[in-house]
Structure 1
């Protein structure tokens, strides 16, 4: 396929999962995101497994789903009844979970396996759109409750060798996540939204930024224009830090694969 993304190392994606189940329920504010997710999936070689780092799972230590068939977690509230009947019966991958556990422990990063934990909407919403057949084994890796950006980059570096094994790695979050602004017509928010978006794109994609400078910018992301306006809490940004940690040794410069509006706010997705 001429438009297929092909590289020696498996791709790493930071992508938006939108507002709860709304992308799957046909919400018009998510139409561009839905089109993007379906398109990008068609351009990827089919992976043997998928690892998702979701904004919706935090633990004291890095935790990996290790069940054979994790259940769906409906971790959202106040949506129509159909939002709680969504199914994505994808298998887990206990063997890969154990491999990730070993990689983390080898780098002195405390880790544990969780056979009971299911898949939250940071996994099943984008993957149901990207890979609706639900046949590719999936696992999730948690964020750390300390929300330390440097530690999340280190988390990624520890598992970077997974890219050599045809494993698609997805950081599922949002480049902009000020929930209040999604539900108001605050005309001033576009200024803050666009300024931070520009900084994030420059940080991740500019070829003349040295690797150490790029890393330091991500560690000190709060210094970016309107950083705390765009991320009052950083859990939706930190999957990007894990992605960068995974990618930085092999393909440190990302490319923008989505830069459009979701529910009226500019959101960006990156591919390494």
Structure 2
């Protein structure tokens, strides 16, 4: 995964700004970081001391934050700006690997705590105009996120993991799937094989829904750019 993140950054080139939709931020309404110099939040526990010394001093981008706010509200999606919140590890961990110089302005957009997949796709559609610019949009979550399965020797779950992973790859990348069918599959993701085993709670899946919403009008079919194991579990990354 580390090698993939470093290599994909080279392949994509350097953007003028980065928007991250992180699994680690939920709000009642869509919320955007708007501080010009946000700090970072070490929002994890139980790790070695060095994990709490990590810094990523990327600047914010208030102008982009305001643009996202305007796009969301223009599409009838309630939104707010947050000048206080820093960047969580769903943002600074991947970006520290991808762009270690931390010189590219960054903004984070929250998930909605309703966890409604249809609304998260609509959230993406509302800000799809950002794709016309040199802005990298990162859905930072995980295609498999069952922590008990990760850390328990008593739970195998490989069959379940691989079945859901196969379904997700097919859903996002198969060009024979009609766009309206693809969208409905993502909305009804709980019907996928072993969906709730792989995502007991869906916050790590929904950043994908936002990214799909952003891309679906002009690039409905994604590419699989990473498919490997992390802690013995199959995980996949997609690029639109």
Normalising by structure 2, we get a TM-score of 0.99
1:182 is matched with 150
Question: 1:224 pairs with 192, 199, 211, which one?
Answer: 192
1:76 is matched with 44
- CA shift, 1:72, in A, is 0.7
- CA shift, 1:165, in A, is 1.1
Question: Do the aligned partners of residues 186 and 257 (structure 1) sit closer, same or farther apart at CA in structure 2, a change above 3 Å counting?
Answer: farther
- The answer on whether the counterparts of 2:139 and 2:208 sit within 8 Å (CA) in structure 1 is yes
- Equivalent-residue separation in structure 2 for 1:87 and 1:165 (angstroms): 28
Structure 1 unaligned runs (5+)? 1-32
- Equivalent-residue separation in structure 2 for 1:142 and 1:81 (angstroms): 27
Superposition pairs of residues 8-87 of structure 1, within 5 angstroms = 33-87=1-55
Higher relative contact order (CA 8 A, sep 6+): 1
Structure 2 unaligned runs (5+)? none
**Per-residue deviation, residues 73-119 of structure 1 (Å, max 9, x unmatched):** 00000111111110100000000000000000000000000000000
Question: Quick check: 1:123 aligned with 2:79?
Answer: no
- The answer on whether the counterparts of 2:149 and 2:156 sit within 8 Å (CA) in structure 1 is no
**Per-residue deviation, residues 184-210 of structure 1 (Å, max 9, x unmatched):** 234631000000000000000000000
2:213 is matched with 245
**Per-residue deviation, residues 39-94 of structure 1 (Å, max 9, x unmatched):** 10110121000000000000000000000111010000011111111010000000
Normalising by structure 1, we get a TM-score of 0.87
Superposition pairs of residues 52-201 of structure 1, within 5 angstroms = 52-186=20-154, 188-201=156-169
2:224 is matched with 256
- Equivalent-residue separation in structure 2 for 1:44 and 1:271 (angstroms): 10
**Per-residue deviation, residues 114-137 of structure 1 (Å, max 9, x unmatched):** 000000000000000000000000
- Equivalent-residue separation in structure 2 for 1:64 and 1:215 (angstroms): 25
Question: Quick check: 1:212 aligned with 2:170?
Answer: no
- CA shift, 1:250, in A, is 1.1
Q: Mean alpha-carbon deviation: is it higher for 248-257 or for 177-186?
A: 177-186
- Equivalent-residue separation in structure 1 for 2:3 and 2:9 (angstroms): 10
SS of 1:169's equivalent in the other structure is strand
- Equivalent-residue separation in structure 2 for 1:186 and 1:53 (angstroms): 33
